Structure 1
Amino acid sequence: MSKITKIDIITRPSKVEDLKEAFNEIGITGMTFSHVLGCGQQKGKTEYYRGNKYSIDLLPKSKIEVVVCEVPVEKVVETAKKVLRTGEIGDGKIFIYPVENVIKVRTGEEGVEAL
């Protein structure tokens, strides 16, 4: 069985379309996208509403999940870094996990065939 890897990318919502296009160019057509909230080095921000100060601890982020076996993980990571890097805090994080198995519910196919 081929090695299957899951890659989770947390980034700015404004970068999702660029990342989607770049992934399409390297052969990745399937992905899962979620709106998420999070904080890291940015530690949120303080705003004013009707004269009252309030802090926003969790900032809106986007999470893109892809599972690959034929496209090399290094190519996916390099593409994501190239598209997402601005050099400022908040560019995001990339997490890489091994996948034990994949099962397509509709057909019962397993492994690479299920992708």
Structure 2
Amino acid sequence: MKNYDAIILKEIRNSGKAIYVYKIPYIGIYVSFGLSAFHAAHYIHTTISYSDELLLPVAIFREYEFFVLKNKVKKVDYDDGAWTFHMSDNLNYDNYGNWIDSVKEERKTIISQPI
């Protein structure tokens, strides 16, 4: 996976026309961050978390969902360790802020519960 500064910069520049996906080597899990995670979660089944280190939401998904997502977009490119899923239209991110808040709240609730 790429260096995290490059991932953050890519998500800051994300205009809503792409979902960026990274594969975690050796375990076959795929991840998206930020706005890409938001949109991936609306297209495929994902597990959502929040990275305190990156200050971004994270969507985690299996190879099966990777191919489901690939079949829902018009074009996919691979460059420098990341797949870019090009969307045919701008994705609506009006609820992005509320979604991040709910991800953080859910994470806080899970962490604070005794085992």
What TM-score do the two structures reach when normalised by structure 1? 0.30
Tell me which protein shows more helix as a share of its residues: 2
Higher relative contact order (Cα pairs below 8 Å, separated by 6+ residues):
1
Q: Rg larger in 1 or in 2? A: 1
Tell me which protein shows more strand as a share of its residues: 1
